[in-house]
Structure 1
């Protein structure tokens, strides 16, 4: 993630959320007309997904707006988890949508209904694909800059929209041009399954944020590698990491030469924090200094976490 100011990050996240809302409004209008004209279960499923995307995008906007609020007396670690809460709300909507689409697809598979107006349905789906691709491109740029969980979850929705719209086109072609009557409900059921899988994946990441899951191993290793470059750090232990929205938090114990004065240790900590901020923009670090050779409660000198420091 690129180093950008908090105000820029908030502005990008809000811009992505507003673009998502505008796209959803366009798609809902087009697909409402197309679902009425075609009678397609797949198109109806795509409409339901876009309608829920609109609600979810509104939740995303609220989530990133709250998450951008600075820390205050009641929320000393900021409001970053608002993004995870917005993501959970989106997941609930996706799950409801998947269940409804799946039920309708099974009903039509059993009872059978013929679709109509394939040209209109295909045309609307093609427009939806172009609009969705434009939104995805913008969202991915914002995600690279801000790392926003809420925008990531919204991006998952619109990735699925690409497949949904392609599925609608395929269903209409197979049903009306090739005479495969069961294609439309089968694609509708497939869409429901895809939505359910996307909801599960998005929920897992949101729960990880809410439960303060540790960073991935590669990110922790990169963090320790930065620490290992400093010649005055003798070891690190009790490293704890978590992510809240776009913000990272780290705390650890740092072993230093026992002969250093308090002032020298303080200056060393400031220097270490500056290096970490350069490599991990926006990270909030809490360091507890320990004299080298300090033994923990288990009787072990816990200074082995730094790479290439064995022995």
Structure 2
């Protein structure tokens, strides 16, 4: 995970230098939009570097549940940068409608975009390899953002090509507006995902169903209730109450809970599982979340 964050910072830095040079030579506002995006990538990658390093810090005396929420906190910071820069880009693009500027030396910009696509594709491939091994939320979000950059860079090539071939000066700001809208949408996705994690949103319905299936598969488990789940960075937390034979010895109930815990951890290796044993048949009132969240 750390190596993936280092690779992101290195790639973003290289692209900033090349795109800054190309924008100075061409004056393309669409190319300027990708330069801003690369600057955001560098800032986001630096934030991710900090977040990943902090999130991987083991639980300590003051943070018994670990430091996983550093990832969504970093995500909110990234989203703020993206929203602000997208707004500035939108203003610049609208100004170009009022004061069109012909793009010069478009072949330089097209070459830079082609270089950017190759470099970004290599980074995305490595990030996907890391995500497959670690399931990191931060690296996964970063990878999605860079994957979108490939499309953005491709659109700039089209914009520059049309401007050079037909002299369509309006194509450049139109593409810039489209890129700005895409960046804002991307930022909103980051915000919603980060808030879900910070607000302890339940794990996906499929994951909860899988947990229930694992628990009920044990022959000595008579039922379950109060399943509660949440995510904190890579770390998942699963709490559940098992219903067992009321006459069962405590050491046997403890052994069954350990077996169920092991089965859940096999399916969710990055989770911390807390199991409470209840005697079956006891009439108790349990929270009903069916109106707002998946049934417990």
**Partner residue, 2:41:** 53
TM-score (norm 2): 0.95
Distance 2:155 2:126 in 1: 24
1:141 counterpart = 2:141: no
1:227 counterpart = 2:215: yes
Distance 1:280 1:256 in 2: 23
Distance 2:101 2:205 in 1: 52
Q: Indicate the SS of the match to 1:250.
A: strand
Equivalenced residue count is 290
Q: Indicate the SS of the match to 1:243.
A: strand
Q: 1:227-256 CA distances to partner (integer Å, 9 max, x unpaired)?
A: 111001111101000011001101011100
Distance 1:281 1:202 in 2: 25
Distance 2:134 2:281 in 1: 40
TM-score (norm 1): 0.90
Distance 1:68 1:80 in 2: 7
Q: Indicate the SS of the match to 2:50.
A: helix
Q: How does 1:1-311 map to 2 (within 5 A)?
A: 13-297=1-285
Q: Indicate the SS of the match to 1:72.
A: coil
Q: Indicate the SS of the match to 2:58.
A: coil
Maintained 8 Å contact 2:226/2:286: no
What are the ranges of 5 or more consecutive residues in structure 1 without an aligned counterpart? 1-12, 307-311
Distance 2:50 2:132 in 1: 20
Instruction: Report the more deviating stretch, 176-185 or 125-134.
Output: 176-185
Maintained 8 Å contact 2:245/2:280: yes
Q: 1:1-44 CA distances to partner (integer Å, 9 max, x unpaired)?
A: xxxxxxxxxxxx11110110010011001000001011000000
Structure 1 segments, 4+ long, off by >4 Å, are none
Maintained 8 Å contact 2:102/2:167: no
Q: Indicate the SS of the match to 2:285.
A: coil
Q: CA deviation at 1:298?
A: 6.7
Q: CA deviation at 1:131?
A: 0.4
Distance 1:210 1:53 in 2: 23
Report the CA distance shift for 1:86/1:298 in structure 2 as closer, same or farther (over 3 A). Answer: closer
Q: CA deviation at 1:299?
A: 11
RMSD across aligned C-alpha pairs, in angstroms?
1.5
Q: CA deviation at 1:167?
A: 1.5
What are the ranges of 5 or more consecutive residues in structure 2 without an aligned counterpart? 289-294
Instruction: Report the more deviating stretch, 153-162 or 256-265.
Output: 153-162
Q: Indicate the SS of the match to 1:202.
A: helix
